[in-house]
Structure 1
Amino acid sequence: MKVVIADDHAIVRSGFSMILNFQDDIEVIGAAADGIEAYAMVAKHRPDILIMDLSMPPGESGLIATGKIKEDYPNTKILILTMHDDEEYLFHVLKNGASGYVLKSAPDEELLLAIRTIYQGGTYIHPKMATSLVREFFKKDKTVHTEDPFELLSKRELEILPLIAKGYGNKEIAEKLFISVKTVEAHKSKIMEKLNLASRPELVEYALRKKLLDF
């Protein structure tokens, strides 16, 4: 199995590389410090599996990168490795195409099991999170589904929302994403409309509540 590791901490990348390269059936062929580098590594090496952290400030987050990579390179399976035992993170990464979700506090054996499981076409979810997922599934099945406005945001809007919340101006966002200022303004208006927000402070509060600023 060819594996790429994406994490913003060099010591974490080195540690996981040592664990994985010690296995007879796994080889780490690349490493990345954020979502943009992860995308580039997948484009270059086409690994079987990408192990990716969710929070990689100040670069692109794992959540956003997951959606982009699965859309362009569907054969690479993505395993999310994170400290967040939050079911909202779990739902969003699975929706964006991840095949597994493991906590960084898990033992090495669980990480190896997750890698081998998703390589064989399965889905691996940390047992504690799997319980939450099943509970949420039955809860939604028994109640009328109300769509979360957050789910209505496009991938580009998911990129722009945290940048606005962090205080970047339209011109700065445009330069970061290589788009025009008018395009940023249009996306900003759509974000405010979809989320029913009236001001930047409300947007910042919303971003904090959704943990987008952790990214």
Structure 2
Amino acid sequence: MKHPQIEIVIADDHTIVRQGLRKLLEEEECLKITGEAMDGREAIQIVQKLKPDIVIMDIAMPILNGIEAARQIKQSELKTKVIILSMHDHTRYIRELLSIGVSGYLLKNAASGDIIKAIHAVIKGESYLSPTISNRVIEDYVGMNKKTSQDELYNTLTNREREVFQMMVEGYPTKEIAETLCLSPSTVKSHRSNIMEKLKMDNISKLIQYAIQLGIIDIQI
């Protein structure tokens, strides 16, 4: 009896990464790639439309990063499991994503076999972490899992404010933010003011520095 295929969506802003991952996964008869996304916002839309079993996402994506995309997917009623595939092993990323409820976290230098193992583990309801990530988790708990004041301020932002925040620090003008998020320009301006107030910032330069410190944007992008 043939088992149903595991349906997967891939989200990464680099075409070559998506193509390589698709080729790798499609070599497995039990896996089926049903969609691809280039940023976090598109990933959410595709997951909502296709309802895959698993979405494999990068963290550093434009418009909406993988952390916030994962948060919104897990907050929804969707049963889609989230696996993070990233080059970053920053403690803040790991802590935040595990608290959100992602099922797997692998580094991009992981062996191809590890990615397949992660998919099968996650589909069975288990979690899968790269060895390096597991060590980071242990170190974090040994360190009392303390949150910084930076984390606390950022956590006061709503999901919508986080979307606006990322687009602001990526340099998008108010009009384009409004069009992308289906908001009015006045609503975006209101969000900008609230963000500045909550984060205790008075100019965009400080916001950009803050976003880099938190890892919301990557200076290598």
Same fold (TM over 0.5): yes
In the other structure, the counterpart of 1:38 is 43
Paired residues, number? 213
In the other structure, the counterpart of 2:3 is none
**1:114 and 2:125 equivalent?**
no
> Which runs of 5 or more residues in structure 2 are unaligned?
1-5
In the other structure, the counterpart of 2:59 is 54
> Which runs of 5 or more residues in structure 1 are unaligned?
none
Trace 1:170-181 onto structure 2 (pairs within 5 A). 170-181=174-185
Trace 1:153-192 onto structure 2 (pairs within 5 A). 153-192=157-196
| 8 Å CA contact retained: 2:56, 2:83 | yes
In the other structure, the counterpart of 2:12 is 7
- More displaced, 151-160 or 39-48? 39-48
The two structures have a TM-score, normalised by structure 1, of 0.87
- CA gap 1:32/1:145 in 2 versus in 1, 3 angstroms: closer
- CA gap 1:187/1:98 in 2 versus in 1, 3 angstroms: same
Cα distance between partner residues in 2 of 1:92 and 1:53: 14
| 8 Å CA contact retained: 1:43, 1:73 | no
- CA gap 1:168/1:14 in 2 versus in 1, 3 angstroms: closer
Which amino acid counterpart does residue 28 of structure 1 have in structure 2?
I
Q: Percent same amino acid among aligned pairs? A: 37
In the other structure, the counterpart of 1:213 is 217
Which amino acid counterpart does residue 68 of structure 2 have in structure 1?
I
Deviation at 1:101, TM superposition (A): 0.7
- CA gap 1:140/1:151 in 2 versus in 1, 3 angstroms: farther
| 8 Å CA contact retained: 1:152, 1:194 | yes
| 8 Å CA contact retained: 1:6, 1:35 | yes
Could you say what the CA RMSD is over the residues aligned between the two structures, in angstroms?
A: 2.3
The two structures have a TM-score, normalised by structure 2, of 0.85
Deviation at 1:145, TM superposition (A): 8.5
